Amino acid sequence: MDKFKTVLNIANQHTNLGFGVVALLTAGGEQIFSSVVFGCPCSPELNFVYGMVFLLVPALALLLFGFMLSKKTWKLVTGLCRCKKRPCGWRRLFVEGHVLCQISSSALVAPCTWIAVALLNGNYFECAMTGNSTSSYYTQHLCTQTKAAEQCWKDLHKFPCGKGSEVPEADRGRVMLTLRAHSQILGWLLIAAIMLSNLLLTCLARCTSPISYLQLKFWRAYAREETSMMESHIPKHAKELAGRNLNSFFTNKPPEEVYTPSNEDWEKISSLYKFSSRKQYYSTLHRVVENHTETDVGMQRMTSVRSNDSTSICPAALGFVDDGNSAL
């Protein structure tokens, strides 16, 4: 598990590298499933369901796993049902839908890779398309290539197993070759669509970027460093507070003063980031810190961060801020 986390941390430092690692891991998993786990039942009732389950259900699981791994998902849903302090109008729903689209763009990498690799492999498609649930027009088209079309239609579900059919082996091979060709064509079309859409979305995000290329690069570096230091500082502070409490309990002495942020402070830095062209803040934490002020009695908390309940949309080019890594 530690090695897996290390791979994810390295991948998160660069978007293209991260997507590449996820795609490679998914492709490797699909190959293992296809060669070790998958076995077409060669049944007229089960072929279609079995093939489609192996094609789509793992993709759905990977999609859900992608949502679970995103920090932005939990920032979005934590406290979402509490509408006492937050406006719950259409504008806020639109903003949250925009954030959900940003999360989905990253979460879709693994499932799309699974489906594309599975289609290029062809095993799942071949099994599914030889079941009785497929279109009769499509199966008739496949069997017109054989000399015994009627017998082919009856025994089509047995073709993936390569035996048990009275249709000549050459005809069976021709049908299976056609199925594999159709599967691979769909796979390459899906890959082309993914690459084209990714290019267009990236160009659109960069075109509408409110900041320059080098500042965007600096911003990414800052977001990564802040996230890394936050994840290392939280356990240290928790250990300090726990040690203070245990020492006070076992020695029966008053506890030493250890400052811990209030619920309001935690809520401020946990909110989704909002870009402001008037004030340059590199993260929500940066905004909260800048809104503190020095007084005679020390650092005091001022009014709530204005953007805490804001419904403004963060530019797509800055979608990496809440995750601490590049999103484009």
Q: pLDDT tens, 10-67?
A: 444 445 555 667 778 887 888 787 778 888 898 888 999 999 999 999 999 999 999 9
Q: Whole-structure pTM over 0.75, yes or no? A: yes
Residue 181 or residue 313, greater confidence? 181
Q: What is the DSSP letter of 322?
A: T
For position 214, what pLDDT does the model report? 93
Show the tokens assigned to 274: 């909002």
* Residue given tokens 């060709």 in the structure block: 181
Q: How many CB atoms lie within 10 A of CB 261?
A: 13
60, 151 contact by CB (below 8 A): no
**Looking at the DSSP assignment, which residues form a beta bridge with residue 293?**
300
pLDDT digits (tens, 9 = 90+) for 235-253: 999 999 999 999 999 998 8
Retrieve residue 322's tokens. Answer: 């809440």
Rg from Cα positions in the chain: 27
For 303, other C-beta atoms within 10 Å of its C-beta total 6
Pick the more confident residue, 1 or 315: 315
CB atoms within 10 A of CB 249: 10
Q: What angle do CA 241, 242, 243 make, to 5 degrees?
A: 90
Distance between CA 147 and CA 153 in Å, rounded? Answer: 11
What's the mean per-residue pLDDT of the chain?
80
- 213 pLDDT exceeds 50? yes
CB atoms within 10 A of CB 53: 13
Cross-strand bridge partners of residue 294: 299
Least reliable range by pLDDT among 100-114, 133-147, 193-207: 133-147
For 54-92, write each residue's pLDDT tens digit.
999 999 999 999 999 888 888 888 877 776 555 566 777
